[in-house]
Amino acid sequence: MRLKHLDYPWRLAATGFCFAFLFAGGALLALTAFPAIALVSGPEPVRRQRVQYLIHLMFRFYIRMLMVLRLIDLEIENAEKLSDGAGRLVIANHPTLLDVVLLMALDPRAQCIVKKELWENRYLGSVVRAAGYIRNDLEPEALLAACGAAMAEGNSLIVFPEGTRSQPGQSIRFRRGFANIATLLQSDILLVTITCDPSTLTKGEAWWTIPPARPRFRVAVGECLEVAGMLDSEYRSIATRKLVRFIEGYYAERLGNA
């Protein structure tokens, strides 16, 4: 009974430690490992790939640490699909702050589109810049070119079409940006569904607002869509809307909020 009473304060303290570890670890890599990689890696694409792989290893360690400290439980379905292909969009819903960490921990060749605020972040900005992640405030032509170059190098491009973290219980609503990229580049789309029960680290929720019980994350890697075969409309704008509606329906069905 006493141990049960200690569960909440333990998880609160351990959560604070893990957030501090993440920020401090990122800053340490930016000061030590990333400059060393830059010195020995030669061409820019090689340097980016090595930095991205190091981030992948760090996030794998971080997720394992969360599990060992009993802060989260994790179930993964079809994880091999995230590493058996390349040069495609990886689309996921976005219920928690940990979503991108989970996906990058599972995919060794992950590239991301990141918010301007993260690119300029005092602690993690140097990490995303060293990895060559793509700013979301680029001009449309530059953004499309950067996405195409990333996938041409064999990377999976992780995109959260909601644009921000979702609120529990609300219907999925996707922006068209990912569909524009997919139809213009005719890239395949790998669909990933993420759930967390009880919910935690949602939009607007502080890190110390931890749930009453240990959250269980489930990452289900689903089907891969061949976008080129879906472009049966004369107008790309119509094909883009159809693609958005189809994928919104896919997630609504799996998340039970159709």
DSSP H or E stretch at residue 151: helix 140-152
Q: How far apart are CA 214 and CA 216, in angstroms?
A: 7
Closest by Cα among 128, 158, 135, 156 to 29: 128
**Residues forming beta bridges with residue 73, ordered by sequence position:** 216
* CA distances from residue 164 to 4, 83, 114 in whole angstroms, order as listed: 35, 25, 11
Q: Which residues contact 100 (CB under 8 A, 6 or more apart)?
A: 112, 158, 160
On the question of pLDDT at 206 being above 90, the answer is no
On the question of pLDDT at 50 being above 80, the answer is yes
Confidence at 257, pLDDT banded by 50, 70, 90: low
Confidence at 4, pLDDT banded by 50, 70, 90: low
Q: How far is CA 81 from the centre of its chain?
A: 15
The domain limits of the chain are 2-255
φ/ψ region of 30 (left if φ > 0, alpha if ψ in -120 to 50, else beta) reads: alpha
Q: Is 192 exposed, middle or buried (0-12, 13-18, 19+ CB in 10 A)?
A: buried
Dihedral sign, Cα of residue 138, residue 141, residue 146, residue 147: positive
On the question of pLDDT at 72 being above 90, the answer is yes
Kindly indicate whether the domain formed by 2-255 is annotated with CATH number 3.40.1130.
yes
Q: How far apart are CA 72 and CA 57, in angstroms?
A: 19
CB 218 within 8 A of CB 195: yes
Q: How far is CA 38 from the centre of its chain?
A: 25
5-43 pLDDT, tens digit per residue, is 678 889 999 999 999 998 888 888 888 888 898 888 778
161-194 pLDDT, tens digit per residue, is 998 888 877 788 898 889 999 999 989 999 999 9
215-253 pLDDT, tens digit per residue, is 999 999 998 988 877 766 667 788 888 899 999 999 999
pLDDT for the residue numbered 5: 64
CB-facing half-sphere around the CA of 9: CA atoms within 13 A: 5
Which phi and psi angles does 114 have, rounded to 5°?
A: -120, 155
91-147 pLDDT, tens digit per residue, is 999 999 999 999 999 998 889 888 888 888 877 778 888 888 998 889 989 999 999
pLDDT for the residue numbered 258: 41
pLDDT for the residue numbered 1: 44
DSSP-derived 3-state class of residue 112: strand
pLDDT for the residue numbered 232: 67
> At residue 241, what is the residue type?
R
